[in-house]
Structure 1
Amino acid sequence: MNNTYLFYDLETTGLNKAFDQVLQFAAIRTDMTFNEIEPHNIMVKLRPDIIPSPKATITHRISIAQTMQGLCEFEAITKIHHLLNKPGTISIGYNTLSYDDEFLRFCFHRNLLSPYTHQYKGNCRRSDLLPITIMYYLYKKEILDNWPEIEGKPTMKLEHISRANKLAEGQAHNAMVDVKATVELARRLYKEPKMWDYLDGYFDKTLDTRRIEEIPVDFHSVACHNRIALMIDNKYGSDNQYQIPVLLIGNSIPYKNQTLWLRLDNPKLREIQLTDVPTKGSSSEEEKEFSKNSWVIRKKYGESGIILPPHERYWSYLSQERLAIVEENKEWLQSHTTLFHKIIQYHREFKYSKIPDLDIEAALYQRGFLSDKEQTLCRQFHTASLPEKMEIVSKFEDVEMRKLANRLLCRNYPDNLPLMLTKDFEDYLRRVNPKNEGDALINHKYEKRTIPVNALTEIAKIRKEDDLDSQQIELLDELENHIKE
């Protein structure tokens, strides 16, 4: 079985991964040296329960009229799931692991598809071109002719890198244009194939695990072997050269695939006292303050960020001031062993709080994996005719799973459905489009679902403050009319 890359990008109705939807999915499958095999461009019909974000609308410029020519969400997402799950597929994009991949995970969940199989089954895995590009910027800058800057600072945004190096023609934030730019960027980086293969290895779970285990132990604590390393990620910013020094403090106990890394250039670390460590009954504000001072990054094996061993050639990017903080923090941790153990214990045992009354569409992580019986029913649902699908809905023993299946039918196949299904969906529509912001549904990160009143307020604000072209004005007019209808 030959591996292939599937480069992909999404344009969506907004940034809420649990509640927004895909409007455009574009992908190009290539061989392992980036020769194109086949392109895919899937447009998705706007769902009846979605209020698109005005900001997203003027960015991707997809009109509501255009979306109405697309596939219904169920059929589009099923096609996308098949593409990502083709045996041997390495799904990759630009910053996809931070956004697109998780967005699709929620899409798969609400359309009764496995959210995780594209990560491991059939020799499939995922990668991300953004951190790979950062590594070339840091250690092989000559690979690109131009590294763009904004106000004297480097930017890693794809649209700027593409424009500076003429990677692709066309409007940025069109999914297919961005995919073409991503493939061309990969081709140029691959001019140094050894470096590419080494960096791609960071997105192989087994190889990434082994590399972490090979980092020398710097010192021992009560809880674990502590290894010092550098973590590379776009979120640390150009001022920090996209990297921070970190100390491995073990693995999470409730989430065993998470490694825990204590940030070592954090001067607030030494301000922590034993009484600051949260215990059962501590307030959320106390927990937030402690988490800010004891800055820990949770990294899964085979995912961002890239972990580099503490070699001199890597550490040379750290300023003398940051290096001094690292040494002071290291000494402080070793001389405050009881407190250090408490810090480790807190982060290793930390578990995300359960959100009460979380809507089923946002409850992917809270509910855990489906039972064998539920998985079987989901597979049957996908192969069944429409009348058979309606019968399968009632076979789900779990009420929340019945809700998912019911909503799926009403969104995608609204004609000639029984009153029992449509009445529930009408009640749901009233609930997701409330008049007051305080009644908006929240997702797993307490982010609010876009509701009509907020979208209309945002449209007015954009019209007043943004410099819009004629197409963007038309898009906002269309969206406003859609919301009012």
Structure 2
Amino acid sequence: MASTFYFYDLETSGISPRRDRIMQFGGQRTDLSLKPIGKPDNFIIKLDDDVLPQPDAILTHDITPQKTRADGLSEREFLHFFTDKIVQPGTIFVGFNNIRFDDEFIRFSLWRNFFDAYEWQWKLNCSRWDLLDVARMTRALRPDGIQWPFAPDGKPTVRLEMMATINKLSHSSVHDAASDVRVSIALARLIRLKQPKLFEYLLNLRNKTKVEVLVNGSEPVVYTSGHYPNEYEKTTMAMMVGPRADQPGALMYDLRIDPKPFLKLEPAQLAKLWSDHSKEAKYFPVKILSYNRCPAIAPLNVLDKKDAKRLGLDLKKVDKHLAKLKAADGFADRLNKALEIIHPPKQPKLVVNEDEVDGLLYDGFVSQPDKTRMSVVRAADAETISDLTVDFDDERLTALLPLYKARNFPKNLTSVEAANWEKFKARKLLAGGEGSAAAKYFQRISELASKPMTSRQQKHVLKELEIYGESILPAA
């Protein structure tokens, strides 16, 4: 089957894929020339009654929990459609910042519902791509033919709604998944039309082997990433210091910066600088490049002197910094040790906590026998779920099963299962007193409602959120 793009976007109940949920899914398949294939998909997805949304998120997209309850599919129903109808051979899943955001929400949704969290992005010759860094690199290296906006603070930006406005791309509703999909396709068409070589080049970097070969060469690369400063179009010249020790990837050094102050630092000192994300923190010139996340990198021959000047790259200084970096001994080892300090290796849990299991996707891969058992859970319906018992090897799946039953088949719970579900919700929503999820939820509603700039419509939405929160809270 011929490859196709599938553009998609989500509206969610918050920013954490471990805790928050998808509330709207919009998608459209196109051929590789970006012509639509079939009708667009647009789904509202019900919030489970153990989830309190982030009030700020709801004010952004205006989808209330009540709307999801009235018009939505369950998460389980949506995922069956997603895996059966959307995941087709040769599909390239693409969005705008999807790799860092939307893809993670899809993965955790699949995990909670006993689907494989990863196969949709590689099996059947499927893959993923992200337009955000494509737009950033196009602006940095090949800006001609496209209008490029600036944020109110005067800094360059490629925010989707601003790109749509300045380039007169149809965008009927900001923060609506279906509308954002349409404008993402329009932006892809514009970049492909004006800079076809760069578009095709970056599309081919979906292949992680090609990325690894380029990065592991003896020369620096041009690297565009959200990590880099806005004033330089988020683009620099970077060199691989060494491979990442714990997983496939590279430690990339920003050659704008003199490496001398960092080369002799001990791992603990490097870790302190690397992990400091405060407003006062100094820029740390090392970042991790993951081979499988479609990074926007290019060989140096794409950069001429005019481009370098526009991007503020002093090529003589870059050469001096590169020479110092190549002469350094043991820097990569110290950086990897610093990473171990920042992200200590996880110790296997002796007992899986039911209260945490929704977020434990990355604690290990599921075995093939357990994947087969997961398919038994997915196939169960209201008539068979009550009698379903599955002997998983992975204790995470054992802990997930009661939650899956309660969320999807509440009317089929035994009295003991129903009581345990209420206890789970009480721990999740009420534990911690004034610091509980519920307390923070209602406090935030109150704060937003009292702001002078909050509109009458927004106050109505906040009242709906208050009513919803009160309706799902278990008895204390």
If the length of structure 1 is used for normalisation, what is the TM-score?
Answer: 0.85
Distance across 2 between alignment mates of 1:301 and 1:392 = 41
Distance across 2 between alignment mates of 1:251 and 1:84 = 35
1:365 equivalent among 362, 368, 380? 362
Task: Give 2:474's aligned residue.
Answer: none
Task: Give 2:467's aligned residue.
Answer: 481
Distance across 2 between alignment mates of 1:336 and 1:297 = 18
Task: Give 2:312's aligned residue.
Answer: 319
Aligned pair count reads: 453
Task: Give 2:206's aligned residue.
Answer: 203
1:429 equivalent among 425, 429, 435? 425
Distance across 2 between alignment mates of 1:207 and 1:412 = 42
**C-alpha displacement of 1:463:** 2.4
Pair 1:418 & 2:414 matched: yes
Task: Give 2:64's aligned residue.
Answer: 63
Pair 1:459 & 2:445 matched: yes
1:352-431 map, 5 Å = 352-354=344-346, 359-366=356-363, 368-431=364-427
Task: Give 1:271's aligned residue.
Answer: 261
Task: Please give the secondary structure, in 1, of the residue aligned with 2:117.
Answer: coil
Task: Give 1:252's aligned residue.
Answer: 244
- Please, which runs of 5 or more residues in structure 1 have no aligned partner? 218-226, 279-284, 441-450
User: What is the letter of the counterpart of residue 13 of structure 1?
Assistant: S
CA spacing shift, 1:59–1:466, aligned 2, 3 Å: farther
User: What is the letter of the counterpart of residue 89 of structure 1?
Assistant: T
1:214-233 map, 5 Å = 215=217, 217=218, 227-233=219-225
Contact 1:6 1:29 in 2 (8 A): yes
Pair 1:289 & 2:280 matched: no
Task: Please give the secondary structure, in 2, of the residue aligned with 1:262.
Answer: strand
Distance across 1 between alignment mates of 2:433 and 2:144 = 50
Distance across 2 between alignment mates of 1:50 and 1:329 = 50
1:178 equivalent among 180, 200, 204? 180
Contact 1:27 1:179 in 2 (8 A): yes
**C-alpha displacement of 1:412:** 1.7
Q: CA RMSD in A?
A: 2.7
Contact 2:373 2:390 in 1 (8 A): no
Distance across 1 between alignment mates of 2:156 and 2:106 = 30
User: What is the letter of the counterpart of residue 189 of structure 1?
Assistant: I
Contact 2:241 2:331 in 1 (8 A): no
**C-alpha displacement of 1:189:** 1.7
CA spacing shift, 1:401–1:175, aligned 2, 3 Å: same
Task: Please give the secondary structure, in 1, of the residue aligned with 2:6.
Answer: strand
**C-alpha displacement of 1:156:** 1.1
Distance across 2 between alignment mates of 1:437 and 1:428 = 16
Distance across 2 between alignment mates of 1:153 and 1:344 = 31
CA deviation digits over 1:203-234, x for unaligned, max 9?
22233334334x4x1xxxxxxxxx42221023
Contact 1:172 1:178 in 2 (8 A): yes
Task: Give 1:298's aligned residue.
Answer: 288
Bigger shift: residues 102-111 or 24-33: 102-111
Task: Please give the secondary structure, in 1, of the residue aligned with 2:430.
Answer: coil
User: What is the letter of the counterpart of residue 289 of structure 2?
Assistant: K
CA spacing shift, 1:480–1:323, aligned 2, 3 Å: farther
CA spacing shift, 1:110–1:370, aligned 2, 3 Å: same
Task: Please give the secondary structure, in 2, of the residue aligned with 1:231.
Answer: strand
Distance across 2 between alignment mates of 1:438 and 1:83 = 45
Task: Give 2:2's aligned residue.
Answer: 2
Bigger shift: residues 4-13 or 153-162: 153-162
Distance across 1 between alignment mates of 2:246 and 2:214 = 23
**C-alpha displacement of 1:466:** 5.8
1:21-170 map, 5 Å = 21-38=21-38, 39-68=40-69, 69-145=71-147, 147-170=149-172
Distance across 2 between alignment mates of 1:58 and 1:365 = 31
Contact 1:202 1:303 in 2 (8 A): no
CA spacing shift, 1:55–1:325, aligned 2, 3 Å: farther
User: What is the letter of the counterpart of residue 102 of structure 1?
Assistant: E
Percent of paired sites with the same residue:
26
Task: Please give the secondary structure, in 2, of the residue aligned with 1:9.
Answer: strand
Task: Give 2:253's aligned residue.
Answer: 262
**C-alpha displacement of 1:468:** 2.7
Task: Give 1:444's aligned residue.
Answer: none
Task: Please give the secondary structure, in 1, of the residue aligned with 2:446.
Answer: helix
